[in-house]
């Protein structure tokens, strides 16, 4: 919510020529203040990333440690946020490396229906693998050591449940995105509502999935 408020403030504080915005295309003329707009994009991106990780770390700690905020907002634990970011980069690197062999194979075979089908199956495998390994993220938020091998072994029985969760989550996000796409025709309000949904609702859904997986597969809690 803080980042959303700051984003709204930036829309008014930074000298963006909103009167020159083309409502049909959502673009500014080439002569518009590109420098100011670039500053806005960079600032929004920084606020977005910090807020996402702040929400994630705070939510993990609230659910798993019953850690309540001492004031209006939860504690900003910069060390845990950095640890969280580091593990996300590690997972991204691993997924990128794992996807390379299939990409090379697809290029070598020249595509085709069979290669595309194999690519889809392999992509699903990588997504499931990503979620299985992602239990290291709540561990980072809590400050608990958890290796990739331990994460993989602990979630060995989670494949089917992850696929079901991904399907339901994808359908929900698709429906909601359709609604917000309709609101996008409103130049400023549509953008702000989309930012609010992207920065608050979607992260909490995905973070809640990881929190539940950590509690069930790592801490061996029972689902109520």
Mention every residue, 6+ apart, whose C-beta is less than 8 A from residue 4: 51, 192, 195, 196, 199, 200
Q: What angle do CA 36, 40, 46 make, to 5 degrees?
A: 145
pLDDT at 107: 72
Q: How far is CA 163 from CA 60, 129, 167, 202, in A?
A: 22, 11, 6, 18
The pLDDT value recorded for residue 122 is: 84
pTM, two decimal places: 0.72
Encode pLDDT of 55-89 as tens digits: 889 889 998 888 888 778 888 888 899 999 999 99
Identify the pLDDT of residue 137.
92
Q: Which two tokens stand for residue 180?
A: 């917000």
- The set of residues, in sequence order, having a beta carbon less than 8 Å from that of 3 and lying 6+ positions away, is 47, 48, 50, 51, 199
| Sites in the chain below the pLDDT cut of 70 | 1-41, 43-44, 109-112, 180-181, 183-191, 194-196, 198-200, 223-224
Mean pLDDT over all residues of the chain?
76
The pair phi, psi for residue 86, each rounded to 5°, is: -60, -40
pLDDT value at position 51? 78
Residues 93-122 have pLDDT tens digits of 998 888 887 777 777 766 667 777 778 888
Alpha-carbon gap, residue 213 to 152, rounded angstroms: 12
């Amino acid at each position: 919510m803080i980042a959303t408020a700051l984003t709204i403030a930036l829309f008014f504080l930074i000298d963006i020529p909103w009167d020159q915005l083309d409502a049909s295309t959502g673009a500014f003329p080439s002569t518009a203040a590109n420098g100011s707009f670039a500053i806005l994009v960079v600032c929004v991106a920084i606020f977005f990333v910090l807020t996402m990780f702040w929400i994630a770390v705070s939510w993990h700690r609230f659910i798993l440690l019953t850690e309540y905020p001492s004031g209006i907002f939860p504690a900003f634990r910069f060390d845990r946020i950095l640890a969280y970011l580091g593990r996300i980069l590690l997972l991204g690197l691993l997924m990128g490396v794992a996807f390379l062999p299939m990409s090379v194979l697809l290029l070598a075979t020249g595509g085709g229906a069979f290669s595309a089908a194999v690519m889809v199956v392999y992509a699903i495998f990588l997504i499931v693998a990503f979620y299985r390994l992602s239990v290291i993220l709540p561990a980072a938020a809590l400050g608990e050591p958890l290796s990739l091998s331990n994460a993989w072994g602990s979630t060995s029985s989670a494949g089917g449940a992850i696929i079901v969760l991904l399907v339901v989550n994808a359908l929900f996000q698709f429906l909601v995105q359709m609604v917000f796409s309709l609101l996008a025709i409103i130049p400023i309000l549509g953008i702000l509502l989309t930012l609010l949904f992207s920065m608050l609702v979607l992260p909490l859904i995905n973070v809640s999935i990881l929190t539940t997986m950590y509690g069930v597969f790592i801490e061996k809690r029972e689902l109520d």
